[in-house]
Structure 1
């Protein structure tokens, strides 16, 4: 008994292979020089049977997974993780409750990036600002210096110009220097 994804199948034969690609360059005299060997993905071939009432739906499921390129895990005499179905054949010969099946699987190697997303610490600042906004009973004042305006203080303390106008008696262009301007 073997399992491919969520499908159980009766495996009769299992074979696997490992290939490499070798590059060769001709030289003037003698045998070509080989300077590179590249590993190819491992392959597994499974021959067996899909049996029972669900044999046709299991076959359709496996075809769908092959067309979608879904990563599967094969567990039989050997275990192959992160494989895709590259070929699927069935023989509906003299079988009463199912059919013979042959499946070729190929390993998919997933690259892991060394890149890590940097965490931004602005979320912490927003939480502190929201705590200040929830405390409506606490009053906050700013001592006015030369050049201070409602607009500048609104940006500095995260409020609006209209809120500052409501809390303070001075007109926009005549805020006295040295007074305490109410912010909240």
Structure 2
């Protein structure tokens, strides 16, 4: 994983992004969280996602493998875990040098809703977010995900392989044709 500038404050493998999002909110992190899904079947092998935070509130997203930002990058990260996560505390200068914060904006509650599936955490994040943070965007993460035909095809192929494997385990090979 390529490291952004800043002070590494946490590095671990988590099964759910909620852990990293909660930690960033509780620590009022100004910096970024790097998410590298362990299942790189659906993403570029060298790609990872970066959420930028200001005082614990996610303000932007970027995925290095797809090059997409904003809600589309959140959709790119919406894959099954586990994830290797790294939290970096950064000064505003370090953060701006790594990722321009005026690009790729996301609504504050989006990562908690779309990545962690936690409406309580999303609401807590929205309550603490400054008024200037937009909660609507032109393209939702779900729309961005549904537009990514390669990702959907990869998910279908992975599901097909899993079904075939389980059918073989259960002796149902003849049932699949």
Scaled to the shorter chain, the TM-score interval is under 0.3
Between Structure 1 and Structure 2, which shows a larger proportion of helix residues? 2
Between Structure 1 and Structure 2, which shows a larger proportion of strand residues? 1
Q: Which has the larger radius of gyration?
A: 1
Q: Using structure 1 for the length normalisation, give the TM-score.
A: 0.19
